[in-house]
Amino acid sequence: MNEPRTHLIPGGQINGHFNVLRGVLKGDIGYAVVKVVGDFVENYRNGLPSELAILNLLDPATGVPKAILDASAITDMRTGVVTAIGAKYLPRSDSKVLAHIGARGTAYWNVRLLDHLFDFEEIRVHSRREDSRQAFAERLSRDLGKTVTVTHDWESAVREADIVVEASRLNQPEPLLHTEWIKQGAFVVPYGTMSAVQLSLTDIMSKVVVDDWGQCKSGIFGSLRAHIEAGKLSETTLHAELGQIVAGLKDGRHSPEETILFWHRGLSLSDIALGHALLEKAHRLGIGQRLRFA
């Protein structure tokens, strides 16, 4: 069971909020989870990541806490994994040019996993701050063993790209990704907290896919929030949830000409699975700290 995320907003002069994700996974794993992710755009000024998270694993039958994990890396990894799962089914198989907007923690795993699938001939990256995009490109170039191009504007990154990932960090919604830059047949993944896309973006899409419609249709944040409010995206116009495509219940891409959008908001169930895997590894390695509880 995956419940839609909720938000805790400190307000005032603080530029940020907390995402609270909740879910229960029964069976062999058997955990309830509450994950709290701080999302603070200006954290870089204090030498901190924009997103810091903690994952609480609980016994779903008794409520007994089982583990508390640093979930910042978990969030980065599983976000990249969801992007990559979408990319197994929805882009053109011959995609060779990637445009990635944003250089935050989740960005690294987006690019690394996408390149693993497609071995891109060209990777372009852009972000708001020059120092962050340069450092991001240098890290990717070193780890991937190929040239990563830094662009100084959105348009030169996005035009003629086969796959476009928009993971920007904006203070407020601003339509910086123009619909006219998206070429026919592209695969577009916008998931910034504050929308950076134009309202017309969904008009050119052959298909719109999400990870979980329950989460996408609720809340106040998200790239396509305005599209839902304007009636451009609804259960009627939505093509599928990603799980339906993976399970073969709905089709993915039919032709190279289809332009497809994938919007993911994140699933607490994937946090449970990854948290469980890390906890099992910690047990095998004999690391971690036992805390006394009641």
Question: May I ask the CATH class of domain 2-73+269-285?
Answer: alpha beta
DSSP letter (8 states) at residue 231: T
| Confidence check: pLDDT of 294 > 70 | no
Let me know: does 9 contact 38? Beta carbons within 8 Å: no
| Largest pairwise CA distance in the chain | 60
Q: Where in the chain is the domain with CATH 3.30.1780.10?
A: 2-73+269-285
Q: What's residue 216's pLDDT?
A: 85
The pair of structure tokens assigned to 261 is 């959008």
> 169: helix, coil or strand?
coil
| Confidence check: pLDDT of 283 > 80 | yes
| Confidence check: pLDDT of 142 > 90 | yes
Residues 6+ apart with CB under 8 A from 102: 127, 165, 166, 167, 168, 169, 192
The pair of structure tokens assigned to 190 is 């916008």
Interval 1-51: pLDDT, tens: 777 788 899 988 888 999 999 989 887 778 899 999 999 988 989 999 889
CB atoms within 10 A of CB 273: 16
CATH superfamily of 75-266: NAD(P)-binding Rossmann-like Domain (3.40.50.720)
Interval 44-94: pLDDT, tens: 899 998 899 999 999 999 999 999 999 999 899 999 999 999 999 999 999
Q: Where in the chain is the domain with CATH 3.40.50.720?
A: 75-266
Interval 145-202: pLDDT, tens: 999 999 999 999 999 999 999 999 888 899 999 999 999 999 999 998 889 999 999 9
- Residues 96-118 as b/e (b if ≥16 CB within 10 A, e otherwise) read ebbbbbbbbbbbbbbbbbbbeeb
- Pairing mode, strands 31-40 and 16-25: antiparallel
Q: Could you give the CA distance from residue 104 to residue 172 in angstroms, rounded to a whole number?
A: 17
Residue 290's pLDDT band, with cuts at 50, 70 and 90, is confident
